Chain A
Amino acid sequence: MRHTFIIARRVLAQLKGDRRFLALSILAPLLIIYFLKLLFDTFPPFVDVKSYTMPVSAFIVHFMSLILCAILLVQERTKGTLERMMIGGFSKTSIIGGYTLGYLGLATVQAITVLAETIWLFHLTYHAGTVLLLFIVIWLLAIVSVMLGIFISTFAKHEAQVFPFIPLIILPSVFLTGLIIKPDGLPIWAEIIGKCLPLHYAVNIIHEITKPGYLVSATFVDFGILSGYIVGLLVLASLSLKETE
Chain B
Amino acid sequence: MNAIEIVNLRKNYGKITALNNMSLDVPEGTIYGLVGPNGSGKTTLIKALVGSLRPGSGSVKVLGLDPLKDKWKLRKQIGYMPQSAALYDDLSARNNILFFGKAQNVAELHKKVDDILAFAELTNRANDKVSTFSGGMKKRVSLCCALVHDPKIIFLDEPTAAVDPHLKMQSWILFRKLALRGVTIFVSTHQMDEVMLCDKVTLLLNGEILAVDTPQNILQLGKTTLKIVVNKTENNTVIDSTAKGLADELKKSGLDATISSVELHADTIEDIILSMLCEKEKEARQ
A binds B: yes
Flag whether A87 is at the interface (Cβ < 8 A): yes
User: A80 contacts B95, CB within 8 Å?
Assistant: no
CA distance A6 to B85 in the complex (A): 21
Flag whether B37 is at the interface (Cβ < 8 A): no
Interface residues on B, range: 20 to 34
CA distance A122 to B95 in the complex (A): 44
Interface 1/0 per residue, B42-61 and A, CB below 8 Å: 00000100111110000000
User: B103 contacts A85, CB within 8 Å?
Assistant: yes
User: B80 contacts A84, CB within 8 Å?
Assistant: yes
When the two chains form the complex, which single residue of A6, A13, A14, A81 contacts B102, counting CB atoms closer than 8 Å? A6
When the two chains form the complex, which single residue of B47, B51, B54, B88 contacts A81, counting CB atoms closer than 8 Å? B88
Interface 1/0 per residue, A1-30 and B, CB below 8 Å: 001001000100110011000000000000
Instruction: Report the minimum CB–CB distance from B31 to chain A (whole Å).
Output: 21
User: B100 contacts A88, CB within 8 Å?
Assistant: yes
User: B52 contacts A86, CB within 8 Å?
Assistant: yes
Q: Among residues 207 to 237 in chain A, which have CB atoms less than 8 Å away from a CB atom of chain B?
A: none
Flag whether A79 is at the interface (Cβ < 8 A): yes
When the two chains form the complex, which single residue of A10, A14, A87 contacts B51, counting CB atoms closer than 8 Å? A87
B216 contacts across to A, CB distance below 8 A: none
Instruction: Report the minimum CB–CB distance from A111 to chain B (whole Å).
Output: 24
Interface 1/0 per residue, A87-130 and B, CB below 8 Å: 11110000000000000000000000000000000000000000
CA distance A17 to B131 in the complex (A): 11
A83 contacts across to B, CB distance below 8 A: 52, 82, 86
Instruction: Report the minimum CB–CB distance from B230 to chain A (whole Å).
Output: 59
Flag whether B115 is at the interface (Cβ < 8 A): no
Instruction: Report the minimum CB–CB distance from B169 to chain A (whole Å).
Output: 26
User: A87 contacts B52, CB within 8 Å?
Assistant: yes
| Residues of B in contact with A (beta carbons under 8 Å apart) | 47, 50-54, 68, 71-72, 75-76, 78, 80, 82-88, 90-91, 95, 99-100, 102-104, 129, 145
Q: Which 10 A-B pairs have the closest CB atoms?
A: A17-B90, A80-B86, A89-B103, A244-B54, A84-B86, A18-B90, A245-B53, A88-B103, A80-B84, A80-B82
| Residues of A in contact with B (beta carbons under 8 Å apart) | 3, 6, 10, 13-14, 17-18, 79-81, 83-90, 243-245
Given A87-B78, A88-B75, 20 extra CB contacts under 8 A = A6-B103, A10-B88, A13-B91, A14-B90, A17-B91, A18-B90, A79-B84, A79-B86, A80-B83, A81-B87, A83-B52, A83-B82, A84-B86, A87-B50, A87-B80, A89-B72, A89-B104, A244-B51, A244-B53, A244-B54
